[in-house]
Chain A
Amino acid sequence: MKSEKPLGGRIFTIPFTIFFIIALISLYFLGKRFVLGLGAVTNLNDGYPWGIWITYDVVVGTAFACGGYATALLIYVFNKREYHPLMKSAILTSLLGYTMSSVAVFLDVGRYWQLYNIFLPWYGNVNSVLFEVALCIAVYTFVLWFEFAPTILAKFNLEKLQAALNKIMFILIALGVLLPTMHQSSLGSLMIVAGHKLYPLWWSSFLPLLYLISAVMMGYAVVMVESSISTLRYKLPDETEILGKIAKVLALLAGIFLVLRICDIALRGHFELIFKGDLLGNIFIIENVLLIVPVCMLAIPSNRKKPRVLFLSALSMMFSGGLLRFNSYLVGFNPGNGWHYFPAAPEIIITLGIIAIEIMVYIWCIKRLPVFQKA
């Protein structure tokens, strides 16, 4: 039987060193942020109080990190055990993605030293969508750590603890399905209150549902992209067959998403905004073409056997989902009064630093911990 093993090999390869340097530079700017305030390293302003740290690191980042959620859904809810080989690496990317998002939140909030206030019953505001999102993300990050813990424990030969964890694992997995369902949809609800400041192509009372479907889609897309890359780079056993099956699910979901999205816009009477030829209309078209093309490709069964098509389709869908989030948090957001926003260089570097750290930890984990199945 196949089982997971560390991939082994050197840690400090050339790419790893580059990531390391990026991380170091971002630390410098982070220091500046904590000494001088957010204004010193970001272009955030009173009109655009949320920039790429929230949009990319949290909203897009946690959606990219939905691989664990989406895979667990298939394996444990839909009882498709053939996807099990993908589970561990999916959990690992989710774990890293969510942990880094939590770090990003900490860097972004102005009064981080009292961030724990939202967990105090007399301060927590149950009417607030952000309250629910924050609570869910915090708990889910913990759940992911526990879900991954057996893999770490295996390295240190702590079988007893591992067995104990395994006994309650079903509760953790169930939580791991419930919590993302809650907060991934709520990440959409967050922008409902922005009302007229969000362009009608993105403002919708269906945002929670759209965000939820999109998050599951992105989860599968990420799993596909990740396994394709790892298979190539670390010469792992070919997983095209499973990926082809996931692709079918993905195409179906994307189809449902598109129908819902277009009907919603049409029913609200904003259909003509799509073809106005302006920036917002065009970027909406790009966002959706990036989804329509892969749906058409994957609808053809023979295409689902070609690793290249699978990889590119999944990548395109990842971009589409990322764009949906960027558009509804930044591009389509206009507070009026002449405000504008484009991220400052240090702001971008800090985001890159966070991504670099995430990748470094990932590389370390797959090389030193039993994550991937080796033939």
Chain B
Amino acid sequence: MEIRRRDFLKVVAGTTAMAVSPSLSFASSPGKKRLPGAMGMLYDATLCIGCEVCMVACRKANNLSPQPTGIQKLWDNPKNLSFETYNIIKKYQNGTGKVKDNEINGFSFVKSQCMHCVDPSCVSACPASAMTKDKETGVVSYNPEACIGCRYCQVACPFNIPKFEWDSPFPEIAKCEMCSHLQAKGEIPACCSECPTGATIFGPVESLLIEAKRRQNMEPGKYYYFPANSLKSGKTNEKSASKYIPRIYGETEIGGTQVLMLSGVPFNKIGLPDLPDRSYTSISENIQHTLYRGMILPVIIFGGLTYLVAKNKNNNE
């Protein structure tokens, strides 16, 4: 019996559509929106004096062991984020390195930690739901009970934040979880509560965005009050405003982040990548959803294939 050309074409068309359509339709679906109750941090590099008190505070709050480096290994001096370091202050330096917050012949500090993305790549990537985003606060946390250790979260994170325990037979992933254990007790993240200058403050992301915009409108050299620890702490420091780069890092980058940054030196100079507004997550999720929503397309194709194979198999034998 001849197979009908039409049946055959249908299956081929279906299979091709399955592969092609998502690649073409990726303009839709803009990704996730900011949660109304999202909590976050604002790090202002122009206020940071590089004292690293926040790094010590983070170690204490999360029971992390010190990371001495260098020949003598005398004191805690991590070079990078690692399984034992969730938060690090790094330094940018150029030319003579004399003027603070200057790109040329200047220097700046920068804090590196999980940005708690609005549309987090790690959460989307994790096959075992070990990375989750809190539905209220939007804090991204990790659950070792679920994790299979595949490290796709590390491949996916645009900021290279999740860290793996390479030298353990029973490894885990680790990263900043915005001290959710302290937040549960009504406290604020340790790095914010210990920061003496108000360079890192805690608060609802919406209010932090307003505060960041207020700072961007400040006149450089004039004195202003800057809240310390958190927006509600009531504590403030008075300081002359620096000249800011006219951009709030994390406002729109890859769909936004809940940790926001201000700086006097361009962000890509201090180690924060230039990222598009659209999250990579939304592109790959869109492809997956177009193909596999409700498994309708695969089931139809499977039906067609079964029919064709059954027919052709009988022909063959």
Contacts and interface: CB of A to CB of B under 8 A. Distances in A.
Contacts of B302: 174-175, 178
B166 A193 contact: no
Interface string A174-209: 110110011001100111111111000000011011
Interface in B11-32: 11-12, 15, 18-20, 22-23, 26
A130 B150 contact: yes
A17 interface: no
Interface stretch (B69-77, B167-175, B233-241): B167-175
A170 interface: yes
Contacts of B167: 36-37, 39-40
B151 A49 contact: yes
Contacts of B284: 129, 189, 192-193
A46 B154 contact: yes
A370 B165 CA distance: 47
Contacts of B158: 195-197
Given A38-B171, A173-B309, A110 B164 contact: yes
Interface residues of A, number: 71
A325 B284 CA distance: 18
B146 interface: yes
Interface stretch (B126-134, B194-202, B222-230): B126-134
Contacts of A170: 306, 309-310, 313
Interface string A112-146: 10110110001111111111101000000000000
A44 interface: yes
Interface string B154-196: 1110101001111111111000000000000000000000000
Interface string A54-93: 0000000000000000000001111101001000000000
Please report whether the interface of chain A is mostly helix, strand, loop or mixed according to DSSP. Answer: helix
B288 A194 contact: no
Nearest to A175: B302
B308 A77 contact: yes
Contacts of B288: 126-127, 129, 132, 186, 189
B305 A193 contact: no
Interface residues of B, number: 73
Nearest to B16: A209
Of the candidates B3, B127, B273, the one having the most CB atoms from chain A within 10 angstroms of its own CB is B127
A194 B125 CA distance: 10
A114 to B, nearest CB: 6
B117 to A, nearest CB: 12
Contact of B125 (A44, A110, A128, A208): A128
Given A49-B164, A50-B151, A181-B18, A84 B127 contact: no
Contacts of A36: 167, 169
A79 B3 contact: yes
Interface of B: 3, 8, 11-12, 15, 18-20, 22-23, 26, 80-82, 121, 124-130, 144-152, 154-156, 158, 160, 163-172, 254, 271, 273-276, 280-281, 283-285, 287-288, 291-292, 298, 301-302, 305-306, 308-310, 312-313, 315-316
Given A208-B19, A209-B20, 16 more contacts: A38-B166, A46-B154, A81-B312, A109-B149, A110-B172, A111-B170, A111-B171, A117-B128, A125-B128, A130-B127, A171-B306, A178-B298, A178-B302, A192-B283, A196-B158, A339-B160
21 contacts: A37-B168, A38-B171, A46-B163, A47-B160, A49-B151, A49-B155, A50-B155, A79-B8, A81-B315, A111-B170, A115-B148, A118-B128, A125-B129, A126-B292, A170-B306, A174-B305, A181-B15, A193-B124, A193-B280, A208-B22, A208-B287
Please list the 8 inter-chain residue pairs (A to B) with the smallest Cβ-Cβ separation, ordered nearest first: A110-B149, A39-B166, A111-B149, A49-B151, A195-B280, A131-B127, A174-B305, A49-B154
Interface of A: 34-40, 44-47, 49-50, 75-79, 81, 84, 108-112, 114-115, 117-118, 122-132, 134, 169-171, 173-175, 177-178, 181-182, 185-186, 189-197, 205-206, 208-209, 212, 335-337, 339
